[in-house]
Structure 1
Amino acid sequence: MKFTQPFTLRSGLTLKNRVLMAPMTISSSQANGDVTEEELMYYNRRARGVGTVITACASINELAPGFTHSIGAECDERIPSLTRLAQAIQAGGASAILQIFHAGRMSNATLLGTQPVSASNIPALRPNAETPRPLTLAEIETTIADFAQATRRAIEAGFDGIELHGANTYLLQQFFSPHSNRRTDQWGGDVKARMAFPLAVVDAIKETIAKYATKPFAIGYRFSPEEREEPGITMDDTLLFINALADKEIDYLHVSINQFHAGSMRDAQDTRVRIQLIQEAVGDRMPIIGVGGLQTVEQVEEALTLVPLVSLGHAMIMDPEWYQKAESGQQDKIYPALYRSKEKELDIPPPLWTMITNVPGWFKVES
């Protein structure tokens, strides 16, 4: 079975198999961003089979949070908490990757205590979206440094890598998007100019890794291939951008889409599989992590004929032992839904359980 095979990244980090746990918001940390015992149990349980666990997103500064009770990586006071998180994952046998992010305009004044920020003063196209203020030139430089400092904290905490959350319309994507970035300085303009901020963040993080890491330490980048907005990110934009990321020699690209075989979200007539286009464009230069509704062993094995790595989200929440059952030939025992009757058995933090069971259609929930 291909999914059981190890894989070594450019940095030298070897993943013990080709299945990763996808990063998913669980809103279960303490109010100050320290992890809770429920979170540690949740991650440790799911780290006992998969090769790698990518955490929920951790905030890089005080303007970064996009959710209540999210993981903090914004100051050195969070390092003990981050250390416990890394150790909980690694104790399960998996590599530990901390996803770091800034929500930008996808946050709100109630959460932050001040106006959210973005590339420009364009609100998101969603209900009750607040108008952000543009980051100043000095603040942009500070934010780049904050990404680097969050990476240093991840290194000191013992993580095996970080993943930049440049997807789901958060700040890194906001600078790349023609919808949210209307700047006329060096941080905005045509598609290449709009790459400047995320690429500067990558450069700063690579410098930090070179300075502080004493063992292989990976840097990955998660991105959304397209946007629905007009103007918005197109597939042509993304192909230019991921080639620029490949030039930076990062460890992997992690696609963010709802279905592995999805076509264009901008053009219903364009049914070409986005992941296949991405793999064909840069797959020979760096590994692509595929994701999107993968649940069965057959689906994972089929996905691995196209890309070298896959990440599982819902499947790992619904069944913490997905990998062990798959590897031992007990595929028929993998839980295909979230069963309310198994609430006490799954080590799902109560806030996450409440979110899942209260949002119709998000998960397949059965009694």
Structure 2
Amino acid sequence: MTDPIANLSDPLDLPCGLRLPNRIAKAAMSEALAGSDHAPNEQLACLYRRWGKGGYGLLITGNVAVDRTQLGEPGNVVIEDDRDHDALASWAKAAHDGGTPIFVQLNHPGRQANPLNLGHTPVAPSAVGLAMPGAATPRALSAVEIEDIIDRFARAAVVCEAAGFDGVQIHAAHGYLVTQFLSPLANLRTDEWGGDPERRMRFLLEIVRRTRKAVSPGFAVSVKLNSADFQKGGFTEAESRDVVAALVAEGVDLIEISGGSYESPAMSGSAAASTRAREAYFLEYAASVKEVAGGVPIAVTGGFRTHRGMNSAVASGECDLVGIARPSVTNPEAASDILADESAELKAHEIKYGLRPILGRVADLKQLDGLLNISWNTDQLHRLSRGEEPDLTRGPLKTTAAMVRRNGRVAFGKRRGL
């Protein structure tokens, strides 16, 4: 239950009975570390073993796909069945070795599938393309395919529980498939999966419903939800509040608030200066849904940097859990530092492309910078996974080369099952 006078160091009890040791979570960032078999490996275990000792109350993994034919990027872990049980169990244990609970973030990219996988046709609620250079027009899903994807989320959650994870997070933010169903811009269906806000949210609610039914009562089922997608005519805060109310009725254990997409990357650190000055990007919205959420804890990720800002958000009751992402890349012990020092302030590295007047004529600089910073942080995650320290001197050219190499390695290769 939520506590209006809680502090960062206080534990948080989720409705399923799981106790988080404090109110700071390491939020999800896509690691892109799996090999060609899409199984977890020792690099992921090494990374989460370090985070597990970093003082966090909760670790949330990056994108774990539920369909190996539909990937956001080549290095995604995929869970379709229990073939990788032992590797998954080692991943969960790595976090638990430091005493930290861990959730697996389950996701389907939809039309945000890897754009450099040439010849692959992504799927989506409707045949509406992503407003980004090089994005393929998706194929609209059939009703049978939609049901199959819902079952994939539930099946993956069962595998995660058997492997020893503490919960799952359904990714319904940042422009991925669940978000596409929620968006009136991406979902133009007029059947039972679209046409009005109630039917557009049905896909998410069915995933939660079947997942909750498939796992044990003590296993956490959480959701990452956009406050809005920050696009004219898109998913609004009012619609998001209605989704929160519906999720509460389905018995979710935690709702994490974020926002934006790769078309409008409010979540990537490219937010306006006025937004960054408020420290927490989505805190005002989170506070507005607390009454709707009732006893379901609310987490907010995006922009938190100081002990003062984090503790104030929790103590005021505006949120119950604070998520930090990019600062945990350059400082894996960020939570311990914040909890130990009330004057502590975290740093998040941010880089931008040069030649801005020229690039600005042919591309959206906000999109480019957002992708650049995501890739820079992925590079640092890979260093941590090898037992190395972050490289703060890494610039845009090396980062871009690594991004193309990482995402493009399947572009001209043989494709199976597509």
Q: TM-score, normalised by structure 2?
A: 0.75
Partner of 1:294: 304
Does the residue aligned with 1:311 lie in a helix, a strand or coil?
strand
Q: Tell me the distance in 2 between the aligned counterparts of 1:40 and 1:145.
A: 27
Does 1:39 find its partner at 2:41?
Answer: no
When residues 56 and 112 of structure 1 are mapped into structure 2, their CA distance, relative to the original with a 3 A threshold, is farther
* Cα drift, residue 121 of structure 1: 0.3
Task: Report if the CA contact (8 A) 2:115-2:134 is conserved.
Answer: no
User: Structure 1 pair 170/337, CA: closer, same or farther in 2 (3 Å)?
Assistant: closer
Change (3 A) 1:45 1:205: same
Q: Displacement of 1:246 after TM fit?
A: 1.1
CA deviation after TM superposition for structure 1 residue 350, in Å: 9.2
Amino acid at match of 2:203: F
Q: 2:105 aligned with 1:99, yes or no?
A: yes
Whole-angstrom CA distance in 1 between matches of 2:309 and 2:272? 11
Contact 1:226 1:233 in 2 (8 A): yes
Most deviating of 180-189 and 250-259: 250-259
**After alignment, is 240-249 or 228-237 more displaced?**
228-237
Matching residue of 1:22: 27
The amino acid that maps onto 2:44 is E
**Change in 2 beyond 3 A, CA 1:242/1:262:** farther
1:267 aligns with none
Question: How far apart are 1:120 and its partner, in Å?
Answer: 0.5
The aligned residue for residue 364 of structure 2 is none
Distance 1:89 1:330 in 2: 26
> 8 Å contact 1:294–1:315 — kept in the other structure?
no
Q: How does 1:194-273 map to 2 (within 5 A)?
A: 194-209=200-215, 213=216, 216-257=218-259, 258=267, 273=284
Q: Secondary structure at the match of 1:188?
A: coil
Residues 254-263 or 129-138, more deviating? 254-263
Residue number among 313, 336, 359 corresponding to 2:347 in the alignment:
336
CA-CA distance at 1:107 after TM superposition:
0.6
Residue aligned with 1:303, SS: helix
SS at match of 1:173: helix
Cross-structure match for 2:286: 275
Q: Decide which moves more: 188-197 or 349-358.
A: 349-358
Deviations 1:107-127 (A, max 9, x none): 147549631101010011222
Residues 147 and 113 of structure 1, relative CA distance in 2, 3 Å threshold = farther
1:159 and 2:165 correspond:
yes
Q: CA deviation at 1:320?
A: 1.4
Cα distance in 2 between the residues matched to 1:128 and 1:104: 15
- Offset of residue 46 of structure 1: 1.1
Whole-angstrom distance in 2 between the partners of 1:352 and 1:178: 43
What CA distance in whole angstroms lies between the structure 2 residues aligned with 1:275 and 1:356?
35
Which stretch shows the higher mean deviation, 271-280 or 174-183? 271-280
Task: Name the CA distance, whole Å, in 1 between partners of 2:81 and 2:118.
Answer: 16
Matched, 1:146 2:152: yes
Q: Which residue of 2 aligns with 1:268?
A: none
Q: Provide, for residues 196-237 of structure 1, a one-character-per-residue CA deviation record: whole Å limited to 9, x for no partner.
A: 11111111101111xxx3x72101000111123343101111
Distance in 2 of aligned mates of 1:90 and 1:80: 15
- Alpha-carbon displacement from aligned partner over 1:227-250 (angstroms, at most 9, x marks no partner): 233431011111111111111121
**Larger RCO, structure (CA 8 Å, separation 6 or more):** 2
Match of 1:9 in 2: 14
Q: Supply the distance in 2 between the matched residues of 1:263 and 1:192 (Cα, whole angstroms).
A: 34
Contact kept? 1:73, 1:79, Cα under 8 Å: no
Amino acid at match of 1:203: R
1:27-106 aligned at under 5 Å gives the runs 27-48=32-53, 49-106=55-112
> Aligned equivalents of 1:73 and 1:19: distance in 2?
27
Task: Write out per-residue CA displacement over residues 130-155 of structure 1, whole angstroms, 9 at most, x where no aligned residue.
Answer: 11001111111111110111001101
**Structure 2 equivalent of residue 131 of structure 1:** 137
CA RMSD of aligned residues (A): 3.2
Letter aligned with residue 228 of structure 2: E
**d(CA) in 2 for partners of 1:34, 1:52:** 22
Structure 2: distance between partners of 1:149 and 1:356: 42
The residue type paired with residue 224 of structure 1 is N
The alpha-carbon distance between structure 1 residues 261 and 79, as it changes in their structure 2 partners (threshold 3 A), is farther
Residue aligned with 1:219, SS? strand
**Structure 2 counterpart SS, 1:273:** helix
Give the Cα separation in 2 of the matches to 1:325 and 1:156. 33
- CA separation of 1:195/1:281 partners in 2, compared to 1, >3 Å: closer, same or farther? same
Distance in 1 (CA, whole Å) between partners of 2:199 and 2:49 is 41
- 1:190/1:252 Cα in 2 relative to 1: closer, same or farther (>3 Å)? same
Relative to structure 1, the CA distance from residue 31 to residue 251 in structure 2 (aligned partners, 3 Å threshold; closer, same or farther) is same
1:63 touches 1:116 (CA, 8 Å); kept in 2? Answer: no
* Cα offset, 1:328, TM superposition: 3.0
Q: Are residues 51 and 221 of structure 1, via their aligned partners in 2, closer, same or farther at CA, if it must alter by over 3 Å?
A: same
| Residues 169, 16 of structure 1: alpha-carbon distance in 2 compared, 3 angstrom cutoff | same
TM-aligned CA distance change 1:164 to 1:355, over 3 Å: farther
In structure 2, how many angstroms separate the alpha carbons of the residues matched to 1:135 and 1:355?
42
Structure 1 residue aligned with 2:278: none
Q: How far 1:181 moved relative to its partner? A: 0.7
C-alpha distance in structure 1 between counterparts of 2:339 and 2:22, whole Å: 11
Number of aligned residue pairs: give it: 347
